[in-house]
Amino acid sequence: QSALTQPASVSGSPGQSITISCTGASSDVGGYNYVSWYQQHPGKAPKLMIYDVSNRPSGVSNRFSGSKSGNTASLTISGLQAEDEADYYCSSYTSSSTGVFGGGTKLTVL
C-alpha cells in the first residue's frame, strides 16, 4: 500500500495553467481507470474534483481536467484563480481492493 507520488508543491500566477502529476504502478494507477482527485482547503474536508481519470462531478468548474498515461495521472487547472490555492490529492483503486492516496501537492497562486 505505497502512497502514490505527487510533487510537494506547484505554483502559478492567476490566469495561468498548472499540472500536478500522480505516479503509481500497474497495480493501481496504471491498471485501472479509477483515478480521482481531491481539493482540500485548510481546516476543511476534501472535495472530489475529478473521478474515473477525467470526469468532473456536477458543480466542479471545467477549468479542472484530468488525464492518464501509463502509471501516471495528471490534474490540470487552467485559468488559475486565487480560490484554487489549496492542497490536492490523487487517489486510485488498487488490485488489493484497498484505497491509496498521493502524498498531496500544495498549490500556491502567486
Partner 1 sequence: EVQLVESGGGLVKPGGSLRLSCAASGFAFSSYSMNWVRQAPGKGLEWVSSISIGSSYIYYADSVKGRFTISRDNAKNSLYLQMNSLRAEDTAVYYCARFSVYSSWDYWGQGTLVTVSS
14, three cell numbers: 492567476
Is 74 an interacting residue with respect to partner 1 (CB under 8 A)?
no
Of 66, 71, 102, 107, which one interacts with partner 1 (CB under 8 A)? 102
User: Are 84 and 75 spatial neighbours (Cβ–Cβ below 8 Å)?
Assistant: no
User: Are 47 and 88 spatial neighbours (Cβ–Cβ below 8 Å)?
Assistant: no
Residue 56 identity: R
User: Are 8 and 107 spatial neighbours (Cβ–Cβ below 8 Å)?
Assistant: no
Site for partner 1 in 23-62 (CB under 8 A): 32, 34, 36, 38, 40, 45-48, 51-52, 55, 57
Q: In the complex, which residues of this chain contact partner 1 (CB under 8 A)?
A: 1, 3, 32, 34, 36, 38, 40, 45-48, 51-52, 55, 57, 87, 89, 91, 93, 96-104
